[in-house]
Structure 1
Amino acid sequence: MASTLTGRRALVTGAAGGIGAAIARRLLRDGARVMIADLDAERGARTARELSEPGAPCLFQAVDVSDEDSVTALFERAAAEFGGLDVLVGNAGVAESGGGVTGVPVAEFRRVMDVNVMGTFLCARAAFPLLAADGEGAVVNLSSIFGVTGLPAFPAYSAAKGAIANLTRQLAIEGGPLGIRVNAVLPGYVDHDMGDSRSLLDAEAAAESLRQREAAAARQPIARQCSPDEIAAAVAFLASPDASFVTGVLLPVDGGFLAQGDWRGPGQAA
């Protein structure tokens, strides 16, 4: 389905790499003006330079989405640079290192909730006045298939993504009268290394982690991992006028994962 975002002003969080960078690339390709934001200032600035083209620069702002002051500064700059905002993509997120409910440290659980849930809330709250100004705003949050199902060994990630899913519905209810549509994409297994987690492992452990992930993805009806570009295409549609009557939707982009009544596989954050 074709989509166009010509002239729209978009902000994508968690976009220094992976899915976020793919989303920013797609929005730029579809004609949007784009600012990306990430906690990793060096990588984020490099990604913005790589995405920029003559006459279509990609801007960058460092942000900690779990910190209110940092989020406020981000949206103040977006408003100053763009003169407003039309699209927010809430992509920033982290997962714990595993271990299950008895193994995850309390501080790590809190960090996952702060970044994923509080970060999504703070960004939406800061964006709403800007998005409401023209009555045609759009928010697209990134939840997960594991916000709908449980995920072995990752209670914080599953809980956080589930909270994002229901927060998206709540924001859609509040945003409708303001002309703001709010939806979420639920990725399945995506061919990327979330948080560079595999890069922190030794070669043997990293290979085993990838093997488990590919084995789990192979159990889906479409028996492969998704590409970041396929997630970006869904986000671009929900952000565009083509989705003008779509709000409060949790859109799985999961190769049929959630269509299965019985799924068992190794725990890997999507």
Structure 2
Amino acid sequence: MSERLLGEVAIVTGGADGIGAAIAQEFCLQGAKVCIADRNEALGMQVASQLVAQGFDATFFAVDISDETLVNAMVAHTVAELGEPSILINNAALISPGNDIDAVGVDAWKKSFSVNVDGMWFCSKAVYPYMKKHQRGSIVNVGSVHSFKIVPGYFPYAVTKHAVIGLTRNMAVEFAQFNIRVNALCPGMIETPMAFKSWDNTDDPQGSRKAMGDVHPLKRNGTTAEIAKPALFLASDDSSFMTGQSLVVDGGRSVIYHD
């Protein structure tokens, strides 16, 4: 077993499937103790149980990160079960594609911000005292290529993901005095269960998948493992002089022109 995260305690929100589950698996392989936090209790418990069965230290906590009381309980659970957190992966997010901007009501707007922005802040604020106490820590906020590029039909998701970059940079400056690093990880199109579900709802699932992959210079979509590795880099001491930055992992899609 590698020791890049040996002795670290990590919380991964949205850890029940997709990118979050891949990060949890990678962190365990690297020696960390991991709390998987998610709204999906059945799936989250399954992921945690699988990790424990592999001999890793893992636990699950059911949480809606837009509820600050539940977030505080999540961190208290982590401390009791695994120890004081030194790594936070703010991965949980709400996405609602296909919305016309004039069809987005106040409730949908507020819900997007309550999860994608407020939730990140609640989680960061909850782990902050422990990181400050130990004068070290790494927070990784999962943004998106939507943090920099506007794709029609994703309002207000892209607005919230732009806000994640501002939150990341501001926290990085404020937390730096305590050696707490804050960076953003911004994936492109990744083949998650959610992505496959969207393709399965089309007339040609394989064609839709290939068409999406073809817009990338690498001519394919990314895998969850290809996001877990950069997350490991940002969480570990390998990026010890890096804070307030945004790492885009999108197969080159964001650097080419699109009609």
TM interval, shorter chain, is over 0.9
Q: Is the 8 A contact 1:3 1:237 kept in 2?
A: no
Q: Which residue of 2 aligns with 1:267?
A: none
Residue 7 of structure 1: CA displacement?
1.1
2:103 alignment counterpart:
103
| Structure 1 residue 257 displacement after superposition | 1.6
Residue 106 (structure 1) shift: 3.2
Counterpart for residue 252 of structure 1? 248
Note the 1:63-102 alignment, pairs <5 A.
Answer: 63-102=63-102
- For 1:57-206, what aligned pairs fall within 5 Å after superposition? 57-194=57-194, 198=198, 205-206=201-202
- Percentage of pairs with the same residue: 35
Letter in 1 for 2:231: V
Residues 74-127 of structure 1 deviation map (CA, whole Å, 9 limit, x = unaligned)? 111112223311100000001114222012343223222211111111101111
**Contact 2:34/2:82, CA 8 A, preserved across alignment:** no
- Say which of 208, 220, 223 aligns to 2:216: 220
Match of 2:258 in 1: 263
**Unaligned regions of 5+ residues in structure 2, if any?**
none
Change in 2 beyond 3 A, CA 1:8/1:125: same
Q: CA RMSD in A?
A: 2.0
Give the Å deviation of 1:58: 1.4
Q: Report the CA distance shift for 1:28/1:135 in structure 2 as closer, same or farther (over 3 A).
A: same
Match of 2:227 in 1: 231
Q: Aligned partners of 1:196 and 1:26: how far apart in 2?
A: 22
Structure 2 contact 26–229 (Cα < 8 Å) conserved: yes
Q: Deviations over 1:203-253 (max 9, x none)?
A: 5x3455764454233122111100000000000011001111011110000
Partner SS for 1:138: strand
TM-score by length of 2: 0.93
Instruction: Read off the aligned partner of 2:252 and give its amino acid letter.
Output: G
- 88 and 215 in structure 1: CA distance in 2 versus 1, 3 angstrom threshold: same
User: How far is 1:54 from its partner?
Assistant: 5.3
Letter paired with 2:133:
A
Structure 1 segments unaligned to the other structure (5+ residues): 265-270
Instruction: Call closer, same or farther: CA 1:48–1:176 in 2, change over 3 Å.
Output: same
Following the alignment from structure 2 to structure 1, what is the Cα–Cα distance between the partners of residues 206 and 186? 21
**TM-score, normalised relative to structure 1:** 0.89
Instruction: Measure how far apart 1:33 and its partner are.
Output: 0.7
8 Å contact kept, 1:143–1:184: yes
Q: Aligned partners of 2:212, 2:94: CA distance in 1, in Å?
A: 20
Partner of 1:268: none
The number of residues matched between the two structures is 258
Counterpart residue type for residue 263 of structure 1: H
Give the Cα separation in 2 of the matches to 1:147 and 1:211.
Answer: 27
Distance 1:195 1:110, change over 3 A: farther
CA contact (8 A) 2:32 2:57 kept: no
SS of alignment partner, residue 248 of structure 2: strand
CA distance in structure 2 between the partners assigned to 1:196 and 1:51 by the alignment: 24
Equivalent position SS for 2:181: strand
Aligned to 1:240: 236
The letter for the 1-side match of 2:35 is: M
Higher mean C-alpha deviation, range 99-108 or range 149-158:
99-108
**Equivalent AA in structure 2 for residue 229 of structure 1:** A
